[in-house]
Amino acid sequence: MQEKTYLKWYNKVGYGSGDIAGNVVYAFLSSFVMIYLTNTVGLHPGVVGTLIAASKLFDGVTDIFFGAMIDKTKSRLGKARPWMLYGYIGCAVTLAAIFAIPADLGKTAQYAWFFIAYTLLNAVFYTANNIAYSALTALVTKNSKERVQMGSCRFIFAFGTSLLIQSITIWVVAACGGGAGGWRMAAIIYALVGLLVNTISALSVKELSEDELNEGVEEQGPEEKYGLAAAVKLLASNRFYLMICVVYILQQVYGAMLNMGIYYMTYVLRNENLYGVFSWAINIPLIAALVLTPALVARWKGMYKLNLRGYMLGTLGRALVVAAGYLGSVPLMLLFTGIAAFGQGPWQGDMNAVIASCSEYTYLKTGKRVDGTMYSCTSLGVKLGGGLGTAIAGWMLAASGFDKNLAVQPESCMQMLYFMYLWIPLIITLVITLVLSRMNVEDANAKLKEQRKAQEEDIYWIR
């Protein structure tokens, strides 16, 4: 029986465009905040890394808190869209603030300025916006194919925006006058673009009613009300949620290491403009894989095999990048970077659909809907992983003897850059592959449904 469809093509495109807004924040911040703070503001990378790590202490609580708040929200716009809309206003303001640290402040005040703005952006505003945006996948359609299509569309925009941000930002900063003023103006431009696109995205879809969401799903009994503590227990009892959190965090650490490419290109390859070229080598294959993902999911009758085999290819690609890096061959590094990115693409495209299946897993086992809370793993992963990755990068730079005033860095720094840009991504990709080998939530849901059907048949025959 063919699944009911809920969305037109323009709903999927409109929804997907929301990741333009998310990535003018995330891609800009993760790719350039460290080099802005060290080379323009003059802050110490180790101290910056410590402040970022300290900021993460607030994130785990706020992710689950906002997820639970979304689940409890009832408004004319639905559960998630109000948080998506209003959360981004704070994102825009705090993004501009991070890249507008006054030069005449003392160093302690500059560190405090950065810490406050960075924490507000990540722990409050980005959290509310991103969890709400991700949760829409489960709230605007019940069709599994449409959810995969939404995810693919979303991440096409995400990686396209990342590619653009990483390719043009150095030029944008220079065009805006360079220095601190150039970074500030670039941040303001990106914030305004994000605010506009986020609004369009939120208004391009409509959430289903509770009756529509529950239609066709066997009753589990009256839904019990639950608080934040109960929500945490529900998430902790779902092994697939925990796996996705681990994968998401590792992915963001992986991305943070690749973002250290700006240092690798500048000091190892001696050409900072190669950073944009490598961004193309990463993002174009990712986008190509995302375009193919819905068809591949249909061909392989599910997401599990596709995700696992894709990451096996990605691991092979990253191993070859390491070899090419030590050979000093930029063309081979670019080729194998593209192969690795192509293999990692399907998981990016169907990840939201996998999370929706995880939410269904909890519902089938407990009878409780935790759609918003379940999607806390997206924001949790982005912030913890991205923040931890940036913090680790700062600590490693400081430990390696990096000096922004030196055109040629000491050998200890050069070796550290090799380790950060080549080896850490390979190790992370291998670990993710191992985790994905255990993440067959589709099969688990099918077994739960079969068990329930068998129980109902037993009851019928007893009667």
425 pLDDT exceeds 90?
Answer: yes
Q: What residues have CB less than 8 Å from 148, skipping those under 6 apart?
A: 293, 294, 297, 303, 349, 350, 353
pLDDT of residue 117: 96
Least confident window among 40-49, 309-318, 368-377: 368-377
Confidence of residue 434 (pLDDT cuts 50, 70, 90): very high
Q: By mean pLDDT, which of 78-82, 322-326, 387-391 is the weakest?
A: 387-391
Query: Under CATH, which number does the domain 14-207+227-458 receive?
Result: 1.20.1250.20
* pLDDT at position 118 over 50: yes
Q: What is the pLDDT of residue 182?
A: 96
Higher pLDDT, 6 or 36: 36
The whole-chain average pLDDT of the chain stands at 85
Q: pLDDT digits over 170-188, tens only?
A: 899 999 999 999 999 999 9
Can you give the residue ranges of every domain in the chain? 14-207+227-458
| The pLDDT value given to residue 102 | 94
Q: Rounded CA gap, 269 and 114, in Å?
A: 30
Q: Which residue has the higher pLDDT, 94 or 6?
A: 94
Asked whether the predicted pLDDT for residue 458 surpasses 80, the reply is no
Predicted pLDDT at 287: 83
Q: What is the pLDDT of residues 277-315, one digit of tens each?
A: 898 899 889 888 888 887 887 777 778 888 899 999 999
| Choice between 123 and 20, residue whose per-residue pLDDT is larger | 20
Residue 193's pLDDT is 96
Of the ranges 224-238, 355-369, 393-407, 418-432, which is most confident?
Answer: 418-432
Q: What is the pLDDT of residue 97?
A: 97
Q: What is the mean pLDDT of residues 50-75?
A: 78
pLDDT of residue 449: 79
Report residue 79 CA to chain centroid gap.
21
Amino acid 453: pLDDT: 74
pLDDT over 70 percentage in the chain:
90
Query: Is the pLDDT assigned to residue 340 strictly greater than 60?
Result: yes
Q: For position 180, what pLDDT does the model report?
A: 93
pLDDT-derived band at 463 (thresholds 50, 70, 90) equals: low
pLDDT in tens, 197-255: 999 999 999 988 877 766 655 554 445 555 667 777 877 788 888 888 889 889 888 98
Residue 190 has pLDDT above 50, yes or no: yes
* 152 vs 24, higher pLDDT: 24
What's the pLDDT at 214?
67
The percentage of the chain sitting over the pLDDT mark of 90, rounded to a whole number, equals: 36
For residue 426, is pLDDT > 50? yes
